[in-house]
Amino acid sequence: MKPEKIYTELMMLAEKLGITVSEQNFRQTGVKAQSGLCRVKGQLRFIVDKHKSFQEKNEILADCLSQMPHEDIFVVPAVRELLQKSKT
């Protein structure tokens, strides 16, 4: 499966888990920031640097989502495998 498609599937899973995913330009902030999960006004939000490659975005997002309760949600096999690898 192409990295772009995996990223789309991961974003759909995040949405099903109630996590908003947004891409931001960290270069403009002037502050050293990292992609990751945070809580904004009580809502979970995953913010990722839009300049990262799809492979890097997938790894970061999969690492986050692998820690969430996703076992009862349908996920395509390639994404499920990525989540399992991230969990270990």
- How would you class 15 by CB atoms within 10 Å of its CB: exposed for 0-12, middle for 13-18, buried for 19 or more? exposed
C-alpha 2, offset from chain centre: 16
Q: What is the number of structural domains in the chain?
A: 1
pLDDT of amino acid 62: 95
CA–CA separation, 42 and 45 (whole Å)? 9
pLDDT of amino acid 87: 80
pLDDT of amino acid 7: 96
Domain encompassing residue 79: 3-87
Mean pLDDT of the chain: 91
Neighbours of 58 (CB within 10 A): 20
pLDDT tens digit string along 30-55?
778 788 899 989 999 999 989 999 99
Q: Is the pLDDT at 83 greater than 80, yes or no?
A: yes
pTM for the structure as a whole: 0.87
CA–CA separation, 42 and 4 (whole Å)? 29
Read off the pLDDT of each residue in 59-64 and give the average, rounded to a whole number: 94
Identity of the amino acid at 59: E
